[in-house]
Amino acid sequence: MVGTFHGWSTTWILRALRDNDRGQLHSFDLLDEVRRHVPAELAAERWSFTQGDARGMDRDLIRRTDHLFLDADHGRRFARWYVVHLFPEVRAGVPVSVHDVFHGWRAKPYSEGSVVLRWLDERGIRFFTAARRKAPDVQQRLIALKDELGLGEPVRVSPTNPMIFFRMA
C-alpha cells in the first residue's frame, strides 16, 4: 500500500487479513499519521509501516506483492514515476487499486488519474469503477446489493468512491 494518511483503507485491509487469518500489509507514507488511527490489535503481526518515500521501496517486495493499492500523492509527477518504475515490477495478474481517479465524470486533465488512465489505454487494460459520477448505474447496483445483503449501513459516508481497479497485464 502506497499512501496511508489517516488509515481508513489500512484499517479495512487489516480487518480483511484478520478475518481471513492470513496475509501481510506493507505500507509506505511520508507522514506517520496512520499510526494514531489503526487499532493495535489489527496491526500486530500483520502490518509493516515504513515512513518515507515509496520510491525507495524494495524491488523484491514489489515483485512479491499480491495487491497494489495506491492512495498517495495524486499529482501527475508521482503517477509518471510509478507507471515507469513501479508498475513494470508488479507481476501480471496482480490486482491494482488507484484511489481518487474519478471525482467527476472524467479524471482531471493534469492529475494522477489522467496519467494512469492513459497508461491503461495504451496497453489495452480495462478498469472497473463504481465512482458515482463516472458509473452511477454501477454504484446504484452495488448499493442495492449491499442493502439486499443487509450491509447497507455505511461505516464511513463517502459519496464519490473515486477508485479504479484493474489487473496488471
pLDDT of 161 reads 77
Q: Does residue 154 register a pLDDT over 80?
A: no
Q: How confident is the model at residue 101 (pLDDT cuts 50, 70, 90)?
A: very high
Kindly report, residue by residue over 33-70, the tens digit of the pLDDT. 999 999 999 999 999 999 999 998 888 999 999 999 99
Instruction: Judge whether 112 lies within some domain.
Output: yes
The residue range of the domain holding 78 is 53-129+162-167
Instruction: Judge whether 65 lies within some domain.
Output: yes
Q: How confident is the model at residue 27 (pLDDT cuts 50, 70, 90)?
A: very high
Q: How confident is the model at residue 6 (pLDDT cuts 50, 70, 90)?
A: confident
pLDDT of 51 reads 94
Instruction: Judge whether 147 lies within some domain.
Output: no
Question: How many domains does the structure of the chain reveal?
Answer: 1
Kindly report, residue by residue over 124-133, the tens digit of the pLDDT. 999 999 999 9
Instruction: Judge whether 61 lies within some domain.
Output: yes
Mean pLDDT of the chain: 93
Q: Does residue 94 register a pLDDT over 80?
A: yes
Residue 161's nearest CA partner among 114, 102, 73, 83 is 102
pLDDT of 158 reads 72
What percent of the chain is predicted at pLDDT more than 90?
A: 80
Q: What is the 3-state secondary structure (H, E, C) of the chain?
A: CECCCCCHHHHHHHHHHHHHCCCCEEEEECCCHHHHCCCHHHHCCCEEEEECCHHHCCHHHHHHCCCEEECCCCEHHHHHHHHHHHHHHCCCCCEEEECCCCCCCCCCCCEHHHHHHHHHHHHCCCCEECCCCCCHHHHHHHHHHHHHCCCCCCCCCCCCCCCEEEECC
pLDDT of 102 reads 93
Instruction: Judge whether 103 lies within some domain.
Output: yes
